Amino acid sequence: MTTTTLPATRRPTGSWRGFSTLLTTETKVWLRDFAAVFFGILFPTVLMIGVGYAIPGMRDPILDAPETSVWYGLTPIATYLPVVVAMALGTAALTVLPVTFATFREKGVLRRLGTTPMRSQGIVVAHLIINVATTLVGVLVAVLVGRFMFDVPMPGQLGVVLLAFVLGMAAMFSLGMLIAAWAPKASTANAVSMLLYFPMLMLAGLWTPGPIMPELLQQIGQFTPLGAAAQALTTGWFETGFPLLQVVVMAVWTAVLLPLAIRMFRWS
């Protein structure tokens, strides 16, 4: 008896019939993973609540800025919300998605899908849908908590905020999929993701948000996908200009990383 082995980078063919069942099943399995649910949905909000109540002065109005400044009268925790939203984009993209696919590859799940009638790309699409949906839920929870618990104002430029959110999600998920495309083991995917995740959080302003972020970090951060997202969200939320550079940066990251992820994806 002979065995046919699919090339590692070949995308197997098949039917999309049964995709809804696959999506439902994978969603149920995903929801059983407490770590994925916590970090994908709850962690950004939990962090914001902790910062808001644990650090003195975070809920006090900023009065040492010029009265004409957009920051005057805001609370520091309010300036933190766009960063938390950006963090939610990066959390699912870098801490959940790559590890999931690397685990599937390590256990042979992706390779075995090539022997079933279901189109193998279905598992990729299913987990993209799951992670995008849970990111949306996580962002919604963070915004509602920020609004009703910390009285964060509504975005001044809603269109800019939505554009920054969509482009930030596209850029970060493209980066996450690039890691997911080749990482042979879950431990490898986790290590690479963490090496990118924490520096990006720093450059996005997680420790020094809004007006207190050093200019050097701002200059460097605006060229990273997560830093550009945080800055564009902040501009749309509180300022009046248009974050053209940040928008271009996020679009370029997506245009470069997404085709690479598709081209490099390995099924075994």
Q: What is the pLDDT of residues 221-264, one digit of tens each?
A: 999 999 999 999 999 999 989 999 999 999 999 999 999 999 99
Domain range summary for the chain, segments of one domain joined by +:
19-264
The per-residue DSSP string of 52-117 comes to: HHHSTTTTS---SS-TTSTTTT--HHHHHHHHHHHHHHHHIIIIIHHHHHHHHHHTTHHHHHTTSS
Q: Distance between CA atoms of 206 and 201, rounded to whole angstroms?
A: 6
- Give the pLDDT of residue 134: 92
- Token output for 181: 């495309």
- Give the pLDDT of residue 2: 44
Looking at the predicted structure, is the pLDDT value of residue 14 above 60?
A: no
- Within a 13 Å sphere around the CA of 243, how many CA atoms are in the beta-carbon half? 31
Cα Rg, the chain, nearest whole Å: 20
Measured on CA atoms in the order 126, 175, 49, 232, is the torsion positive or negative? negative
Helix axes 76-91, 186-204, angle to 10 degrees: 160
Q: Could you tell me if 176 and 93 are in contact, meaning their C-beta atoms sit under 8 angstroms apart?
A: yes
CA dist 69 to 59, 205, 230, 238, 253, Å? 18, 19, 19, 10, 32
Percentage of the residues of the chain whose pLDDT score is greater than 90: 62
Q: What is the pLDDT of residues 19-67, one digit of tens each?
A: 888 899 999 988 888 888 888 889 999 999 999 999 888 999 988 878 8
For residue 264, what is the enclosing H or E element?
Answer: helix 244-264
Q: What is the pLDDT of residues 160-211, one digit of tens each?
A: 999 999 999 999 999 999 999 999 999 999 999 999 999 999 999 888 877 7
> What is the three-class DSSP state of 119?
coil
- Give the pLDDT of residue 1: 44
